[in-house]
Protein backbone atom coordinates (compact mmCIF):
# COMPACT_ATOMS: atom_id res chain seq x y z
CA UNK A 1 0.00 0.00 0.00
CA UNK A 2 1.27 3.44 -0.89
CA UNK A 3 2.05 5.95 1.81
CA UNK A 4 -0.52 8.76 2.17
CA UNK A 5 1.80 11.32 0.54
CA UNK A 6 2.20 9.02 -2.47
CA UNK A 7 -1.58 8.77 -2.85
CA UNK A 8 -1.58 12.54 -3.48
CA UNK A 9 0.92 12.09 -6.28
CA UNK A 10 0.42 14.40 -9.24
CA UNK A 11 1.52 13.12 -12.60
CA UNK A 12 1.84 15.59 -15.46
CA UNK A 13 3.32 13.50 -18.22
CA UNK A 14 5.24 10.26 -18.55
CA UNK A 15 6.89 8.92 -15.40
CA UNK A 16 8.63 5.80 -14.22
CA UNK A 17 9.83 4.40 -10.92
CA UNK A 18 13.50 4.51 -10.10
CA UNK A 19 15.57 3.37 -7.13
CA UNK A 20 19.05 2.23 -6.22
CA UNK A 21 20.04 -1.43 -6.34
CA UNK A 22 20.59 -2.62 -2.81
CA UNK A 23 23.75 -4.62 -3.50
CA UNK A 24 25.81 -1.83 -5.09
CA UNK A 25 23.80 1.41 -5.18
CA UNK A 26 23.51 1.48 -8.96
CA UNK A 27 20.51 3.41 -10.35
CA UNK A 28 17.77 1.08 -11.58
CA UNK A 29 14.35 1.50 -13.19
CA UNK A 30 11.25 -0.61 -12.68
CA UNK A 31 10.38 -2.64 -15.78
CA UNK A 32 6.94 -3.60 -17.04
CA UNK A 33 7.81 -7.23 -16.28
CA UNK A 34 8.20 -6.38 -12.59
CA UNK A 35 11.97 -6.46 -12.40
CA UNK A 36 14.67 -3.83 -12.25
CA UNK A 37 16.93 -2.70 -15.08
CA UNK A 38 20.02 -0.52 -15.20
CA UNK A 39 18.89 0.64 -18.67
CA UNK A 40 16.32 3.46 -18.63
CA UNK A 41 15.18 2.26 -22.08
CA UNK A 42 13.65 -0.77 -20.37
CA UNK A 43 11.70 1.26 -17.81
CA UNK A 44 7.94 0.89 -17.51
CA UNK A 45 6.35 4.22 -18.42
CA UNK A 46 2.98 5.34 -17.04
CA UNK A 47 1.06 8.59 -17.42
CA UNK A 48 -1.51 8.69 -14.62
CA UNK A 49 -1.22 8.92 -10.84
CA UNK A 50 -3.02 5.60 -10.16
CA UNK A 51 -0.68 3.83 -12.61
CA UNK A 52 2.35 5.48 -10.99
CA UNK A 53 1.19 4.44 -7.52
CA UNK A 54 0.62 0.88 -8.71
CA UNK A 55 4.09 0.79 -10.26
CA UNK A 56 5.57 2.23 -7.07
CA UNK A 57 3.72 -0.34 -4.97
CA UNK A 58 5.03 -3.13 -7.19
CA UNK A 59 8.53 -1.86 -6.45
CA UNK A 60 7.98 -2.47 -2.75
CA UNK A 61 8.37 -6.22 -3.01
CA UNK A 62 9.67 -8.23 -0.10
CA UNK A 63 12.73 -9.22 -2.18
CA UNK A 64 14.64 -6.05 -1.19
CA UNK A 65 16.39 -5.75 -4.54
CA UNK A 66 16.24 -1.96 -4.66
CA UNK A 67 15.81 0.79 -2.09
CA UNK A 68 14.50 4.34 -2.11
CA UNK A 69 12.01 3.85 -4.94
CA UNK A 70 10.23 6.97 -6.14
CA UNK A 71 8.33 8.25 -9.16
CA UNK A 72 10.53 10.15 -11.61
CA UNK A 73 9.64 12.12 -14.73
CA UNK A 74 10.89 10.94 -18.09
CA UNK A 75 10.78 12.35 -21.60
CA UNK A 76 9.88 10.36 -24.68
CA UNK A 77 11.53 11.36 -27.92
CA UNK A 78 9.89 11.04 -31.32
CA UNK A 79 11.60 7.71 -31.95
CA UNK A 80 10.31 6.27 -28.67
CA UNK A 81 13.57 6.61 -26.76
CA UNK A 82 13.21 7.24 -23.03
CA UNK A 83 15.29 9.89 -21.31
CA UNK A 84 15.46 11.41 -17.84
CA UNK A 85 12.91 14.16 -17.32
CA UNK A 86 14.78 16.55 -15.06
CA UNK A 87 18.30 17.51 -13.99
CA UNK A 88 18.34 15.18 -10.98
CA UNK A 89 17.51 12.20 -13.16
CA UNK A 90 19.99 13.27 -15.87
CA UNK A 91 22.72 13.31 -13.22
CA UNK A 92 21.61 9.91 -11.90
CA UNK A 93 21.77 8.50 -15.46
CA UNK A 94 24.92 10.17 -16.75
CA UNK A 95 26.88 11.22 -13.71
CA UNK A 96 28.00 14.64 -12.49
CA UNK A 97 27.55 17.69 -14.71
CA UNK A 98 31.22 18.56 -14.28
CA UNK A 99 34.41 16.54 -14.49
CA UNK A 100 35.61 15.20 -11.18
CA UNK A 101 39.32 15.63 -10.44
CA UNK A 102 41.21 12.96 -12.33
CA UNK A 103 38.18 11.92 -14.41
CA UNK A 104 37.68 12.30 -18.14
CA UNK A 105 35.18 15.04 -19.11
CA UNK A 106 31.70 13.59 -19.49
CA UNK A 107 30.18 13.84 -22.99
CA UNK A 108 26.44 14.49 -22.96
pLDDT digits (tens, 9 = 90+) for 62-87: 778 999 999 999 999 989 899 999 99
* Residue 108 domain flag: no
* Residue 6 domain flag: no
Nearby residues of 30 by Cβ (< 8 Å), 6 or more positions away: 16, 17, 18, 19, 36, 43, 44, 55, 58, 59, 69
* Residue 4 domain flag: no
* Residue 61 domain flag: yes
* pLDDT for the residue numbered 22: 92
* pLDDT for the residue numbered 18: 96
* Residue 107 domain flag: no
Residue 92 neighbours by CB distance under 10 Å: 16
55 pLDDT more than 90: yes
* Residue 102 domain flag: no
* pLDDT for the residue numbered 104: 65
Q: Which domain holds residue 64?
A: 15-94
First-last CA distance in the chain: 38
Please tell me the total count of domains within the chain: 1
* Residue 101 domain flag: no
3 pLDDT more than 60: no
* Residue 88 domain flag: yes
Amino acid sequence: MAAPQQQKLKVNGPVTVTANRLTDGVVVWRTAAGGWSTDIAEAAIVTTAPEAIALLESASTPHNEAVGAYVAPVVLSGNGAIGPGNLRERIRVAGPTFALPGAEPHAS
